[in-house]
A and B are shown apart, each in its own frame.
Chain A
Amino acid sequence: MQRITVIAANPWQHTKRSPVIFMQNLQCPISIQQYPTILMAHGGGGRLMHQLIDKLIMSAFSNPHLDVRHDSTVLNISSPQIAFTTDSYVIQPLFFPGGDIGSLAVHGTVNDLAMSGARPQYISCAFILEEGLETQTLWRVVQSMRQAADAAGVQIVTGDTKVVEKGKGDGLFINTAGIGVISHALRIAPASVQPGDAVILSGDLGRHGIAIMASRQGLEFQTTIQSDSAPVAGPVLALIDAGIEIHCLRDLTRGGLASALNEIAEVAQVNIDIDEIAIPVNEQVQGACEILGFDPLHVANEGRFIVFVPAKQADRAVAVLQQHPVSADARVIGQVNEVSIAPVTLKSRIGTRRIMDMLSGEQLPRIC
């Protein structure tokens, strides 16, 4: 086995303090009365910054790699291949039904790793804080990240904190990068998709995007829709363990199912034909889309993915996915064909066929 040593810069190491044990109580350890909001000095490299990183962030994320407190983290990974990814999170509002920017920053990155069939192991975390952010808000986000990381089986091993002036950020931005271990020999990529493959969708569409729309300030539109934000490596690894010959995986984030299918079809030079009636959409999501003039196929998800497998393995793959709560509603929604009139076509509810294009620009609510 080849050993890969990954060294990641870790500016959080500057706090020379003995490792602390993760604090179970959810009380912010920084005195709120003293510093109720983030100040420029919290990013200035002095005592305040050390206090913030030490008490609020390091204490929550504590693990043997992080607790070494060095400029970079040394990881021993015994694997011929690793997956590596990065993503930035700028969501508003910071807290939404079913999640928050912290859990999203973990789920998004571990899911990107899972889309290579990798087992997510380590992530980095860089915060960009806006002067004036409530310290309590940061504390809640940090706690949420820790819980999400635990649930996803990853450690936060390195990080960074910067503060920008009031008005130059949107409260809080997070960047996470992640490393996952690959222990399969499959070539999971759009180019591996071929005519005859079945397309499997892991569950219902549109809940994240609509939950965000509904909770955005200024939108008087109340629903009980929760974001589907969740880690999905579990069912993906179960497919690999079951010997399913996965050709491609893709999580259905921005742009939704329509963008994911179009991107893959264009790379693979195939046609993907989808059956609209097979695509599950929650009734409240459907209702919200009708009102706003959105198509659920374009709406973002944070816990949904598609899998391309040889048709003969489709039923078994669906059965494996259905054993996991996050993909309990998995089903075959279409198949891959030779190139035709468009990269992606859709059989509509009334049985006609049309192009399923990716979204142009931003999804904007219609007039009437």
Chain B
Amino acid sequence: MKYVDEYRGQEQARRCARLIARLTTRPWVLMELCGGQTHSIVRFGIDELLPAGVEMVHGPGCPVCVTPVELIDKAIEIASRPEVIFTSFGDMLRVPGSQRDLLMVKARGGDVRIVYSPTDAVKLAQQNPDRQVVFFAVGFETTAPANAMAVYQASQLGLKNFSLLVAHVLVPPAMEAILSSPENRVQGFLAAGHVCTVMGYTEYEPIARKYRVPIVVTGFEPLDILQGIHLCIRQLEQGRAEVENQYARSVRRQGNQPAQELIARIFRVVPRQWRGVGQIPHSGLGLSDEYADFDAERRFGLADQTIQESPDCIAGLVLQGVKKPHECPAFGTRCNPEKPLGAPMVSSEGACAAYYRYRRQPVAAH
């Protein structure tokens, strides 16, 4: 398949791995930011091809995983109302709230529907004028333009029965939070190609300078990731700390400007709670004042509450790259995809789910 097969070739992968090995003179710790990259690394065993001492730690880039439990509880509360059609991407339905998940709401008669685009939810609102249609707007900058477009369309159509439950998060503030943490081990980043397709990478340049850390915008196929690692280690070995673009077939430095303008118009930057990590300033998107009527939290008048998560779950440490999934005492025993303690075990982009699915124990020493 074009644009996929050529990035999954065994020979090219081995060649790239040899280049990395030749380049590497000492141990380095790199973090891939996107959950899609984490899954590629574990699924294809990319870390097994790396020289001893080059360690990949997995970042917070699983939007499902970092959506705070309080917000999932709000989603569950809204979805349980008889007048509501609650729409979401499929991935969110399994994520545990404090008591239940959205699949359980559906099983008990709640009208919870999987949609493939937020604009499908707008259509549902048009078709069901007597119902309230709510879309669970989860994701990083990648999904923000489509969600912004849905709100814009709903406003143009004058729909009073459409709203968003917004859980948007932003990548750069999370990187700064990781880099400023006293526990940080990360020396270089693979930035998420899809996020940068929308946002470009100018906002990463000050981070690279301030923290002296190389950042390589990277794709998702095995060869993309190996090339990203290669560029990152080359910078580290040469003592450089710049932003480089491995994913040039999709990413431009300025990104997609019409998409950015749409995001800026519909949303505003807000502080956001990250599940397992805590509050990060300026790290989320909420609806702008002009579009505040489309805010489901406001429409349904839900009160904020604080919920205590299971102390057994180390999801926060996993999401910050401090621990690996199999270092959790509950991994694969008290916590598995059928009975998850935390979101990274359920989401298709969660690091714990990737380890459980493709690898039950640590990679053998090289």
Contact = CB atoms under 8 A, between A and B. Distances in A.
B360 A355 contact: yes
A355 B357 contact: yes
B349 A287 contact: no
A219 B44 CA distance: 29
- A contact face: mostly helix, strand, loop, or mixed: loop
Contacts of A350: 8-10, 13-14, 44-46, 49, 222
Interface in A336-354: 341-342, 348-354
Given A360-B338, A367-B91, A368-B194, A219 B116 contact: yes
Closest 7 CB pairs of A and B: A352-B45, A364-B90, A360-B337, A350-B13, A365-B90, A354-B358, A368-B142
A304 B46 CA distance: 31
Nearest to A294: B348
A290 interface: yes
A241 interface: no
Interface residues of A, number: 28
B114 interface: yes
Given A218-B120, A364-B91, A364-B348, A348 B43 contact: yes
Contact of A367 (B45, B46, B349): B349
A367 B63 contact: yes
Contacts of A293: 91, 348
Contacts of A283: 1
A290 to B, nearest CB: 6
Nearest to A283: B1
B27 to A, nearest CB: 21
A329 interface: no
Contact of A351 (B14, B115, B348, B356): B14
A361 B338 contact: yes
B359 interface: yes
B348 A366 contact: yes
Interface in B116-147: 116-117, 120, 138-140, 142-143
Q: Among the interface residues B89, B356, B361, which one has the most CB atoms of the partner chain A within 10 A?
A: B89
Interface in A309-368: 341-342, 348-355, 357, 360-361, 364-368
12 contacts: A220-B117, A286-B4, A287-B1, A350-B10, A351-B13, A353-B45, A355-B358, A360-B336, A367-B64, A368-B36, A368-B139, A368-B142
Q: Among the interface residues B93, B120, B359, which one has the most CB atoms of the partner chain A within 10 A?
A: B359
B179 interface: no
Interface in B20-67: 36, 42-46, 48-49, 63-64
B346 to A, nearest CB: 8
Contacts of A348: 43-45
Contacts of B115: 218
Q: Among the interface residues B45, B92, B349, B361, which one has the most CB atoms of the partner chain A within 10 A?
A: B45
A368 B48 CA distance: 26
A352 B46 contact: yes
A220 B122 CA distance: 14
Contacts of B117: 220
Interface in A104-159: none
Interface of A: 218-221, 277, 283, 286-287, 290, 293, 341-342, 348-355, 357, 360-361, 364-368
Q: Among the interface residues B1, B43, B360, which one has the most CB atoms of the partner chain A within 10 A?
A: B1
Given A293-B91, A354-B42, A368-B140, 12 more contacts: A220-B116, A277-B10, A350-B10, A350-B49, A355-B359, A361-B338, A365-B116, A366-B90, A366-B348, A367-B92, A368-B143, A368-B194
B94 interface: yes
A157 B360 CA distance: 49
Interface in B212-266: 222
B113 interface: yes
Contacts of B13: 350-351
Contacts of A352: 44-46, 48-49
Contacts of A353: 45
Given A218-B120, A220-B116, A293-B348, A365 B45 contact: no
A366 B358 contact: no
Given A341-B360, A351-B14, A360-B337, A366 B44 contact: no
Given A218-B120, A341-B361, A350-B44, A367 B143 contact: yes
A365 B43 contact: no
A16 B176 CA distance: 81
Contacts of B9: 349-350
Contacts of A351: 10, 13-14
A286 B139 contact: no
Interface string B342-366: 0000001100000011111100000
Contacts of B45: 348, 350, 352-354
B255 to A, nearest CB: 15
A365 B63 CA distance: 14
Nearest to A281: B1
Contacts of A290: 1, 4
Contact of B116 (A221, A341, A349, A357): A221
A354 B355 CA distance: 10
Nearest to A219: B116
Contacts of B348: 293, 364, 366
Given A350-B13, A352-B48, A218 B222 contact: no
A287 B63 CA distance: 23
Given A341-B360, A355-B357, A366 B222 contact: no
